[in-house]
Amino acid sequence: MALSQGPVSTTASTCTAETARGRHTFVVAGYSLHRGLGAGKFIRSATFHVGGHGWSVRCYPDGHTGKDSNQDFVCVYIELMAAKQGAAEVRAVYDLRLVDLLTGESKVLFHPAAPRAFSGESPVWGARWFIRRTELEASTYLREDRLVIECDLTVIVAKQEASPQTPCEVIQAPPSDLPVDLGKLLKTAEGADVAFKVQEETFRAHRVVLAARSPVFEAELYGPLREKSDGEAVIPVEGVHPDAFRALLHFIYTDSLPATDDDLDGDESKEMVKHPLVAADRYAMERMKLVCASILCRRLDVEGVSTTLALPDRYSCSELKDSCIQYVISSNSMDEVVASRGYEELKRACPATTVELWEKASSSKSHKIAYAEQRDERVLDELD
């Protein structure tokens, strides 16, 4: 049952990033007295609040870890002391600065490239190599044994808002009816300006449609052969079955093959597909050729795969050949294929394809044997 094409109810929402900003100044008086605490030991600022969360500044006078030359640096970190209720993670960006005590100006010494996520598992982020100790002690950032650290902190809050639903509903367009309309045009032949004689049947069509879909028809109807074609009331077509030509025109106008009779048995059904494959190759309809090949692949069996395998060489369809060979290999039915009626004809008409079939089947069998031997060896090793 087709789905109804009714109106579609539409809603929308928006996620915006809001921020809360704050600055804290941490004065370290008696800097020399804090020296010698040891690596990993820190002094902490008072707790300050930004965005509803509690924060502090950590300062490690003797480095954080004592490794990787870290002991030669003063380290500074930001710590999430207390997140407000319901916040499992707090995202924030920050600047860590030192104030020049001679000029009063501050300089950013650390700024992360991206926001950091503070949480219970990772409450501390900052600069492991904030400033080398010798550089600090020789600068005007340290005067009268006093050091001033500034932290600019911006907390990011994601806020979601649902837009109110409006009474206006989006109208859903129905599927394209172009193939149906062109199919009717072919059936009625209204405005047809060319005819083809295929055995005892005559087919009327439209030159511009045929030329737009097939390069062969384009050359025949608008190329060097045009004068000859225009001089004849009907263009004769040799070597194509009328049913195949009918299917070709149907595909040109509707981009699909005509429906087949479900009462046909397997052999008759395959023949109904092979004929359009011949016409598709003759008129360079590559998509139609692959559609036919796809149908044939779905109907492969051991008895008829040899006959189908003879088609790709004649009609330049490597995809069909690969599928047939893969079917024989995967079904492990090489002996049954060789005993089938079509195999002798395949050997005679397509010797190269027959050799390729044997080579790939043999290679696949060798791989299976090698895998079985390796598996048996692993089992024996485990038993030992």
144 and 30 share one domain? yes
How far apart, in whole angstroms, are the C-alpha atoms of residue 329 and residue 335? 11
Phi, psi of 49 (to 5 degrees): -120, 130
d(CA 355, CA 362): 10
2 lies in some domain:
no
Q: Please report which confidence band the pLDDT of residue 226 belongs to, taking 50, 70 and 90 as the band edges.
A: low
Residue 246 in tokens? 């009918």
43 & 138 share domain: yes
Does residue 155 share a domain with residue 21? yes
- Number of residues that make up the chain: 384
Please say whether the beta carbons of 93 and 157 come within 8 A.
no
Domain boundary among 93, 128, 160: 160
Residue 6 lies inside a defined structural domain of this protein: no
**For the purposes of burial, counting CB atoms within 10 Å of the CB of 339, is it exposed (0-12), middle (13-18) or buried (19 or more)?**
exposed
Determine the Cα angle at 93 with ends 100 and 83, to 5°. 110
Please give the pLDDT value at position 379.
40
Residues 285 and 306 in one domain: no
Strands 146-163 and 106-110: unpaired
* Residue 233 scores a pLDDT above 90: no
Q: Is 235 or 12 the better-scoring residue by pLDDT?
A: 235
Average pLDDT over residues 160-174: 65
Domain shared by 76 and 62, yes or no: yes
Does 131 fall in a domain? Answer: yes
Whether 85 and 139 share a structural domain: yes
- Whether residue 78 contacts residue 117, with contact meaning beta carbons closer than 8 Å, is answered with no
Which of 295, 321, 356 corresponds to the end of one domain?
Answer: 295
In this structure, the answer to whether residues 319 and 236 fall within a common structural domain is no
8 within domain boundaries: no
CATH label of the domain that carries residue 355: 1.25.40.420
* pLDDT tens-digit series, residues 7-43: 666 677 777 778 889 999 999 999 999 988 888 899 9
On the CB side of 361, how many CA atoms lie within 13 Å of its CA? Answer: 19
Q: Does residue 94 sit within a domain?
A: yes
Q: Is residue 30 domain-resident? A: yes
Q: What is the pLDDT of residue 160?
A: 60
Give this prediction's pTM: 0.50
Domain boundary among 104, 127, 160: 160
Look up the CATH number of the domain holding residue 182. Answer: 3.30.710.10
For residue 308, the model assigns a pLDDT of: 85
**106 shares a domain with 205:** no
Average pLDDT, the chain: 83
Is 153 in the same domain as 25? Answer: yes
Residue 86 located in a structural domain:
yes
The pLDDT value recorded for residue 380 is 44
Indicate if 226 and 279 belong to the same structural domain. yes
pLDDT, one tens digit per residue, over 340-383 is: 888 888 888 888 888 888 888 887 665 555 545 544 454 444 44
Give the burial class of 346: count Cβ atoms within 10 A of its Cβ; 0-12 exposed, 13-18 middle, 19 or more buried.
buried
The answer to whether position 350 is within a domain reads yes
Q: Are residues 122 and 27 in the same domain?
A: yes
Contact between 276 and 247 (Cβ < 8 Å): yes
Domain of residue 217 covers 177-295
Give the pairing type, strands 53-60 and 116-119: unpaired
Q: Are residues 321 and 267 in the same domain?
A: no
Q: Report how many domains make up the chain.
A: 3
Q: What is the pLDDT of residues 45-58, one digit of tens each?
A: 999 999 889 999 99
Upper half-sphere CA count for residue 315 (Cβ side, 13 Å) = 27
